[in-house]
Amino acid sequence: MLKGKKVVVGITGSIAAYKVPFLVRLLVKEGVEVRVIMTPVAKDFVTPLTLATLSQHAVIVDPFKADNGEWNNHVELGQWADAMIFAPVTANTLGKMAHGIADNFVVTAYLSAKCPVFITPAMDLDMYAHPSTQNNMAILRSFGNIIIEPQIGELASGLTGPGRMEEPESIVQILKDHFTRQHDLDKKKILITAGPTHEKIDPVRFIGNYSTGKMGFSLAHEAAQRGAHVTLVAGPTNLTSEHPNIHRIDIESAEEMYQICMQEAPLADMVIMAAAVADYTYSRQSPIKLKKGSAPLLLELSPTRDILKTIGANKKNDQIIVGFALETDHESENAKRKLISKNLDFIVLNSLNETGAGFGLETNKISIIDRSGTVYQGKLGTKPAVAAEILDFIVKNRTIQP
Ligand code: CTP
């Protein structure tokens, strides 16, 4: 599957550079044509000679001059590559990539890339956690780059935490998966909802829930990576939507989400309703702040409209409708009932009883139920990994018309 692919491997100055010869070797074994480029500091961690020997090609370090005195052409490399993998990427290079500071050949080649770009950060845990690093990663994601998140483990500093560069075998697998999936949702229109809704009581108070929107945003990002045109209807959240294929519409209440979804759903090939929509709203919103009193305050709530049920009732033949069910008890039973009553193709079950699953966590563990009642058990993973798992399952189990 990787045979014949052309891949640029860009190395920067981190101790994790010692892993890159293994990466290059694995890629070459898969039949990949590899060109290695390095920053000057990376040479202190791993030698160009090792990498040239393994890749069977000269390694480029100097931005301007090859050994034979010729100019190193980053633009040509950008046109040539089917993928670029930057590994390891230091906090310094992340910043340069995010802000276009092209003072070495690695960043210059990155800026010339016309292909998918994989960025594999490696650094100490505090540097990784710093808002500056996190912001730079968010910027890079917003350009459509794929960040291969570092692993949690022992770091060169002796500390333990996130920052360890992903292992070469996993990077190769991610690349394989990418080329398999790359076009499996090409030009499909997908409507995804995410996050909570806020039902206003007065100008300063609302009824909400603990949803952060991470699962829905991960689904939107993953679908966009696979070529889909995503409309993301997002409830109040601090998350950023990170792909040029994502058209984001922010809403606040269940009714606003309903209105947008009614416009968008008929245009969609697939609808994924991951939002935690309020079931009740307060219809007598006060235009001014309610004042404290000594008597109990009773709020009469009225039911919101069930967005997914309406979409399911109007489902077109070739449309795929996916719901979510968050359950605390009788999980499968409740989810199956929702699947049928809302006329869905699949329902993704989130159980609050699963360790590692739930609101605000970085990880999730789901199961997916289809119309025959078959239950697919997912694995515990990061929300982006679970998003990929959900889309893999849907694509595999339901042929989407080209
Ligand atoms: N949903 C919706 N509109 C609503 C409520 C829920 O579209 N007003 C969607 C959710 O986005 C989710 C699915 O319906 O995809 C199931 O939501 P959930 O809250 O688990 O189920 P409810 O139908 O609200 O039932 P209950 O609250 O009794 O569990």
Query: In the chain, where are the structural domains located?
Result: 6-181, 189-284+296-397
Closest CA to 146 of 173, 123, 119: 119
Average pLDDT, the chain: 92
pLDDT digits (tens, 9 = 90+) for 100-119: 999 999 999 999 998 999 99
Give the pLDDT score at 172. 97
Judging by DSSP bridges, how do beta strands 151-154 and 160-164 pair with one another?
A: antiparallel
- Residue 74 CA to residue 108 CA, distance in Å, equals 6
Angle 380-383-384 from CA coordinates, rounded to 5° = 115
Domain boundaries 6-181, CATH class: alpha beta
DSSP characters over 311-378: HHHT--TT-EEEEEEEESSSHHHHHHHHHHHTT-SEEEEEETTSTT-STT-SEE-EEEEETT--EEEP
Q: Is the CB of 23 under 6 A from ligand 1?
A: no
- Residue 10 CA to residue 15 CA, distance in Å, equals 14
Strand partners, 70: none
The pLDDT of 8-29, averaged and rounded, is: 97
Residue 137 CB partners (closer than 8 Å, separation 6+): 94, 98, 119, 121, 147
Q: What is the CA radius of gyration of the chain?
A: 24
Q: Is the CB of 275 under 6 A from ligand 1?
A: yes
The yes-or-no verdict on residue 66 having pLDDT over 80 is: no
By CB atoms closer than 10 A (0-12, 13-18, 19+), residue 267 is exposed
Angle 64-57-7 from CA coordinates, rounded to 5° = 85
Q: Is the CB of 233 under 6 A from ligand 1?
A: no
Better-scored residue on pLDDT, 59 or 63: 59
CA distances 356 to 69, 163, 169, Å, are: 56, 20, 25
pLDDT digits (tens, 9 = 90+) for 209-238: 999 999 999 999 999 989 999 999 999 999
Provide, for the chain, the percentages of residues in helix, strand and coil under a 3-state DSSP scheme, each rounded to the nearest 5: 35, 25, 40
Q: Is the CB of 277 under 6 A from ligand 1?
A: yes
Cβ atoms < 10 Å from Cβ of 69: 6
Better-scored residue on pLDDT, 244 or 257: 257
Alpha helices, DSSP H, located in 3-103:
20-29, 48-55, 74-80, 91-99
Ligand 1, atom 8: closest residue by C-alpha: 306
Residue 269 exposure: Cα atoms within 13 Å on the Cβ side:
17
Q: Which of 71-75, 196-200, 235-239, 380-384 has the lowest mean pLDDT?
A: 71-75
Q: Which of 136, 209, 245, 350 is catalytic?
A: 209
Ligand 1 centroid, distance to 184 Cα (angstroms): 28
pLDDT digits (tens, 9 = 90+) for 127-160: 999 999 999 998 898 787 889 999 888 888 888 8
CATH code that applies to domain 189-284+296-397: 3.40.50.10300
Better-scored residue on pLDDT, 181 or 395: 395
pLDDT digits (tens, 9 = 90+) for 271-330: 999 999 999 999 999 999 999 999 999 999 999 999 999 999 999 989 999 999 988 889
Ligand 1, atom 24: closest residue by C-alpha: 279
Closest CA to 78 of 45, 37, 42: 37
By CB atoms closer than 10 A (0-12, 13-18, 19+), residue 311 is buried
- Would residue 209 show up in a list of annotated catalytic residues for this protein? yes
The yes-or-no verdict on residue 195 having pLDDT over 80 is: yes
Ligand 1 centroid, distance to 215 Cα (angstroms): 15
Q: Is the CB of 83 under 6 A from ligand 1?
A: no
Ligand 1, atom 3: closest residue by C-alpha: 306
Hey, do 6-181 and 189-284+296-397 end up sharing a CATH topology, with the first three levels equal? yes
Q: Tell me which of 209, 253, 279 to substitute to probe ligand 1's pocket, judged by most ligand atoms within 8 Å of the beta carbon.
A: 279
Ligand 1 centroid, distance to 305 Cα (angstroms): 10
DSSP letter at 295 equals S
Ligand 1 centroid, distance to 401 Cα (angstroms): 28
Q: Is the CB of 219 under 6 A from ligand 1?
A: no
Ligand 1, atom 17: closest residue by C-alpha: 325
Q: Is the CB of 271 under 6 A from ligand 1?
A: no
